[in-house]
Amino acid sequence: MFHKILIANRGEIACRVAATAKRMGVRTVAVYSDADAQAAHVQACDEAVHIGGAAVADSYLQWQRILDAAVKTGAQAVHPGYGFLSENADFANACARAGLVFIGPGVAAIQAMGLKAASKQLMAKAGVPLVPGYHEADQSPALLASEARRIGFPVLIKASAGGGGKGMRIVQQAADFDEALASCQREAKNSFGDDAVLIEKYVQRPRHIEIQVFGDTHGNVIHLHERDCSVQRRHQKVLEESPAPGLTHEMRERMGAAAVAAAKAVNYVGAGTVEFIVEQTDRGMDFFFMEMNTRLQVEHPVTEAVTGLDLVEWQLRIASGEPLPLTQAQVTVKGHAMEARICAETPDNDFLPAIGQLRVLQTPTASRFAVSGVRWDSGVRQGDSISPYYDSMIAKLIVHADTREQALARLDLALAQLHIVGVQNNVAFIRRVIRTDSFAQAQLDTALIEREKALLFHQQTVAPPQSIAAVVAAFLRSEQHHSEDWVDPWSHRQSWLMQGRSVRSFHFEIHGETHTAALTSLVRGGMRLQIDGHEAAFSWRDAAGQLQVTWGDQSLRCHVYQDAVDWHVFTDTGEASLRLSDPLAYVKQDAAVGGNLAAPMPGKLLSFAVKTGDKVVAGQALAVMEAMKMEHTVAAPGNGTVAELLYAPGDQVAEGAPLLRLTVD
Ligand code: ADP
Ligand code: ADP
Ligand code: MG
């Protein structure tokens, strides 16, 4: 076994690899960018080497610096994690030349599977079933269009070098093909430096089922069964589970055998995943090879949960030359596991990634009501920031139980115990997803979120009166705790004495609507609370760290956190955010907005769809930005004329910076 390895990654996966290495007595070296000097992964490792600026191109993709760091610190091997350099054959090659073991497959296997088109040609030869499509080298637009017609619409155009859900376009009809092709090629060129595409039949309501495989340097290949990753948004996974519900024994065996055949066809060594797309027809299910990811997968913990194995330990053992620890027959699956990807994003705003500081990060494993079978894999701590430079994934929450139903209940409880304040996130959204009938009944397919959208978006899980009563209670509690030199942050202006009673009124902004609460302290003691003009019995008490709040005939237990003017209420059923507003401040702010179009987040300006002097209508696309691995279109808020473009394509733009000026009609 190695005595020291370098982890060429950051965030949760670097922490996760470091944990296994520590358990095995292997020393670890972290690498970090300017933005990550204080990051959790740096602390998780025994040593750390600074490798450059915050942008990934200046640090985590600077493979010469990473190799130098490995050599300098005496590491014997490099674990690439996922993303970054994990599927970069040049890097794997350079490791070998520098006398380092790359913890992953051989260079030839990475190359063979690196391009979706080439890997499909190879799989066809190995007898692995493929989605009907075009995977050849000739990229002339006319040929691609005629191939799309031959395959039959709808088709999917994919960047051959693509990954992470990027570089894909669904085309419903021939008339839309040319435009979709151009936009796919542009994204492919920008993101992967290669604009080659392939075309596939677009499978309707497919399931995504993948098989975890492992090979060793002695020619053995086995699989560790499947994961269902069908619940996706933007072609990116949100929830994963193992085993895949409803899969027959026969189908499971066939998929496992096909995955092993795929891995053997490229002499695969180490951990890999063979992804299949599963078509559900009247006859049953058909599965087709989609791609092979030649690395450890984000969702590997669900496989670890059901097999009881440590996949990183297997990676280290195999990379150091040991044979596979188990035979196929010795790998057994026990119970059911689920993983939820906790991301910094705004589900109600088309999943736009979010940034900010994690003012509160209360995790379910740290909860006093923590249940067993819950795992929290994260690379951030309370107080850390989610920056625009890296992936928007905050953490992964993994649960394991005897049955799917129990795993689901456990996940719901763990999500209820997960409190994040300061960064917009998908926790409440995921709770709604797992509570849909589709998910509960395991009717899984990639369209689940779209199908259930009426229940998933723009929902208030805690009604305004309850959340307002909770915040008022939390305020009163904090007032008690600060009895001496406590200065009321809720502006004295708004309190006055009325017939000998103290009345304070508060204005809250919830989902853009203003609500008013009036709190009256009675002379004889006690409180009266009026919310939006309605009065009801109000009382509260501290209950084991939670607040027990009663307003009218409703009683709820909750946690309330304050973050400047924002208040966050977490209950068993969901969460609510309230902004304490000073109505005057809002008027001023609105007046200042004017006709500027601001970048929704820090990122790169890709292109303008308009030029100075153009007349535009409300909703018309004006500019395309790229940030956190996604493209975002900035649209006109109203009809008007473009007065000035303030940046050039390729420029880095700060959050909130106006991109252009519009004279609104
Ligand atoms: P999985 O491992 O489940 O297949 P994804 O396919 O969503 O997960 O992506 C795996 C990882 O690859 C991501 O978490 C990210 O770190 C990395 N990745 C995704 N897209 C890109 C990209 N455009 N450029 C670089 N790395 C990416
Ligand atoms: P990536 O490298 O970005 O992970 P994949 O080829 O693995 O790209 O596809 C990502 C997702 O896109 C799949 O999980 C699936 O939801 C969807 N998808 C891919 N191919 C098809 C297809 N032919 N028909 C329908 N959906 C597809
Ligand atoms: Mg994939």
pLDDT in tens, 85-100: 999 999 999 999 999 9
Is residue 486 very low, low, confident or very high in pLDDT (cuts 50, 70, 90)?
Answer: very low
Distance of CA 165 from the midpoint of ligand 3 (Å): 7
Q: Which residues pair with 345 in a beta bridge?
A: 353
Is residue 523 very low, low, confident or very high in pLDDT (cuts 50, 70, 90)?
Answer: low
In ligand 1, the atom with minimum distance to the C-alpha of 275 is: 4
State how far the Cα of 353 lies from the Cα of 344, in Å rounded to an integer. 6
pLDDT in tens, 288-335: 999 999 999 999 999 999 999 999 999 999 999 999 999 999 999 999
Nearest ligand to residue 235 Cα: 2
Distance of CA 60 from the midpoint of ligand 1 (Å): 14
In ligand 1, the atom with minimum distance to the C-alpha of 273 is: 4
pLDDT at 524: 66
User: By alpha-carbon position, which residue is closest to atom 4 of ligand 1?
Assistant: 297
Q: What is the mean pLDDT of the chain?
A: 90
User: By alpha-carbon position, which residue is closest to atom 12 of ligand 1?
Assistant: 83
> CA separation (Å) from 501 to 122, 217, 301, 519, 551?
81, 81, 58, 10, 20
Is residue 281 very low, low, confident or very high in pLDDT (cuts 50, 70, 90)?
Answer: confident
State how far the Cα of 317 lies from the Cα of 299, in Å rounded to an integer. 21
Is residue 56 very low, low, confident or very high in pLDDT (cuts 50, 70, 90)?
Answer: very high
pLDDT at 408: 98
Is any atom of ligand 1 closer than 6 Å to the C-beta of 83?
A: yes
Most ligand 1 atoms within 8 A of CB, residue of 291, 298, 343 to mutate: 298
pLDDT at 487: 43
User: By alpha-carbon position, which residue is closest to atom 15 of ligand 1?
Assistant: 83
Residue 572 has pLDDT above 80, yes or no: yes
Distance of CA 298 from the midpoint of ligand 3 (Å): 11
State how far the Cα of 597 lies from the Cα of 657, in Å rounded to an integer. 8
Distance of CA 75 from the midpoint of ligand 2 (Å): 37
pLDDT in tens, 1-53: 999 999 999 999 999 999 999 999 999 999 999 999 999 999 999 999 999 99
Neighbours of 505 (CB within 10 A): 14
pLDDT at 371: 73
Most ligand 2 atoms within 8 A of CB, residue of 151, 208, 231, 444 to mutate: 208
pLDDT in tens, 131-168: 999 999 999 999 999 999 999 999 999 999 988 778 89
> Which residue from 332, 277, 282 is spatially nearest to 307, judged by alpha carbons?
332
Which of helix, strand or coil describes residue 510?
strand
Q: Tell whether the torsion through CA atoms of 621, 622, 628 and 630 is positive or negative.
A: positive
> CA separation (Å) from 365 to 309, 310, 362, 370, 571?
21, 20, 9, 5, 17
Nearest ligand to residue 237 Cα: 1
pLDDT at 418: 96
Q: Could you say which of 10, 295, 317, 375 is catalytic?
A: 295
Distance of CA 277 from the midpoint of ligand 2 (Å): 7
Is any atom of ligand 1 closer than 6 Å to the C-beta of 341?
A: no
> Which residue from 543, 621, 567 is spatially nearest to 556, judged by alpha carbons?
543
Is any atom of ligand 1 closer than 6 Å to the C-beta of 575?
A: no
Is any atom of ligand 1 closer than 6 Å to the C-beta of 600?
A: no
For the chain, helix, strand, coil in percent to 5 are: 30, 35, 35
State how far the Cα of 186 lies from the Cα of 192, in Å rounded to an integer. 10
Which residues have any ligand 2 atom within 6 Å of their CB?
131, 156, 158, 162-165, 200-203, 206, 208, 232, 235, 275, 277, 290-291, 446
pLDDT at 369: 67
pLDDT in tens, 67-123: 999 999 999 999 999 999 999 999 999 999 999 999 999 999 999 998 888 899 999
Mean pLDDT, rounded, for 211-235: 97
To the nearest whole percent, how much of the chain has pLDDT over 90?
A: 71
User: By alpha-carbon position, which residue is closest to atom 23 of ligand 2?
Assistant: 202
Residue type, 593: V
Roughly how many angstroms between the first and final C-alpha of the chain, as a whole number?
A: 70
Is any atom of ligand 1 closer than 6 Å to the C-beta of 299?
A: yes
State how far the Cα of 423 lies from the Cα of 416, in Å rounded to an integer. 17
Distance of CA 625 from the midpoint of ligand 3 (Å): 24
- Helix segments in 443-565, DSSP class H: 448-451, 453-456, 464-481
Q: Quick check: 416 and 572 in contact, CB under 8 A?
A: yes
User: By alpha-carbon position, which residue is closest to atom 7 of ligand 1?
Assistant: 164
Is any atom of ligand 1 closer than 6 Å to the C-beta of 104?
A: no
pLDDT at 201: 94
Q: Quick check: 69 and 7 in contact, CB under 8 A?
A: no
Q: Residues within 5 Å of ion ligand 3 by Cβ?
A: 275
Distance of CA 279 from the midpoint of ligand 2 (Å): 12
Is residue 618 very low, low, confident or very high in pLDDT (cuts 50, 70, 90)?
Answer: confident
Is residue 600 very low, low, confident or very high in pLDDT (cuts 50, 70, 90)?
Answer: low
User: By alpha-carbon position, which residue is closest to atom 22 of ligand 2?
Assistant: 202
> Which residue from 474, 378, 371 is spatially nearest to 420, judged by alpha carbons?
378
Nearest ligand to residue 85 Cα: 1
Is any atom of ligand 1 closer than 6 Å to the C-beta of 185?
A: no
pLDDT at 527: 79
Contacts of 267 (CB under 8 A, 6+ apart): 106, 108, 109, 215, 219
In ligand 2, the atom with minimum distance to the C-alpha of 200 is: 23
In ligand 2, the atom with minimum distance to the C-alpha of 202 is: 24
**295 tagged catalytic:** yes
> CA separation (Å) from 393 to 388, 586, 628?
11, 32, 10
Q: Go through the domains of the chain in sequence order and give each one's CATH number.
A: 4-103 (3.40.50.20), 132-201 (3.30.1490.20), 203-334 (3.30.470.20), 335-457 (3.30.470.20), 464-580 (3.30.700), 603-664 (2.40.50.100)
